[in-house]
Amino acid sequence: LSPQYTRSILTKSLLDGLIAEHGDTLNLVSSNTMVLGEYTSDAIYYDLTVNGIKTHHILYIFFEQNNGYVFKANYPDTNDLDESKEIFDTIASTFSITKLTINEQLEHYTEMPRFSEYGIKLSSEIYSNMIVNNEFTLSGFVALPKNIKRLHVIVSKDDDLIEYYVPVIDKAFDVKLYTPFGLGKHNITVIADESESKVEDVVIGPFTTLDSYVEQTILSHHAFDEAETIMKFSILNASDELIKDLLPTTYINYDQTSIYNITNAITFNLKNQYSKSKALYEWIVKNYTFNEILRPTGLFSAQELVDTQSANSVELCILYTALLRAVDIPAHISRGITEDGINYWVETYLNGQWVVASIAQETQFKFSTLTYFNLNRSMHYENYATVEQLPF
* DSSP annotation string for 231-254: EEEEEEE----B-GGGS--SS---
Note the pLDDT of residue 22: 92
Provide the sign of the torsion angle of the four alpha carbons 198, 200, 205, 208, taken in this order: negative
**Chain segment 293-317, per-residue pLDDT in tens:** 888 888 999 999 999 999 999 999 9
Mean of pLDDT values over 250-265: 93
Contacts 24+ apart (CB under 8 A), 370-373: 370/278, 370/281, 370/282, 370/285, 372/345, 373/278, 373/281
Given a contact cutoff of 8 angstroms between Cβ atoms, the answer to whether 325 and 245 are in contact is yes
Mean pLDDT of 380-387: 94
Instruction: Please say if the pLDDT value at position 348 is more than 70.
Output: yes
Q: Which runs of consecutive H residues, i.e. helices, occur in the chain?
A: 7-22, 81-92, 210-221, 257-267, 273-287, 302-305, 313-326, 359-365, 377-381
* Residue 363 CB burial class (10 angstroms; 0-12, 13-18, ≥19): buried
| Residue-level pLDDT at 219 | 72
Residues 6+ positions from 24 with CB-CB distance below 8 Å: none
Specify the pLDDT at position 137.
95
**Structure confidence at residue 225 (pLDDT):** 66
282-287, long-range: CB < 8 A, 24+ apart: 282/370, 283/323, 284/316, 284/319, 284/320, 284/323, 284/359, 284/363, 285/359, 285/362, 285/363, 285/366, 285/370
Task: Taking residues 13-19, report their average pLDDT.
Answer: 92
Residue 306 carries which DSSP code? T
Count CA within 13 A, CB hemisphere, residue 327. Answer: 29
Question: Is residue 294 classed as helix, strand or coil in its secondary structure?
Answer: coil
Write down the pLDDT at residue 202. Answer: 57
pLDDT given for residue 342 in this prediction = 94
pLDDT of residue 108: 52
Res 163: pLDDT: 84
What region, left, alpha or beta, does residue 247 occupy, with left being phi > 0 and alpha being psi -120 to 50 degrees? beta
- The percent of residues in the chain predicted with pLDDT above 90, rounded, is 55
State yes or no: pLDDT of 291 exceeds 90: yes
Evaluated on CA atoms 96, 102, 104, 110, the torsion sign reads: negative
- What percent of the chain has pLDDT above 70? 91
pLDDT in tens, 186-206: 999 998 877 655 444 555 665
pLDDT average, residue stretch 261-279: 95
- Tens digit of pLDDT for each residue in 129-173? 888 999 999 999 998 877 888 888 999 888 888 888 888 999 999
Pairing of strands 67-76, 53-64: antiparallel
Higher pLDDT, 16 or 107: 16
Q: Give pLDDT, residue 167.
A: 87
Provide the pLDDT for residue 196: 53
- List pLDDT tens digits, range 41-67: 999 999 999 999 999 999 999 988 778
Predicted pLDDT at 101: 47
CA distance 83 to 71: 18
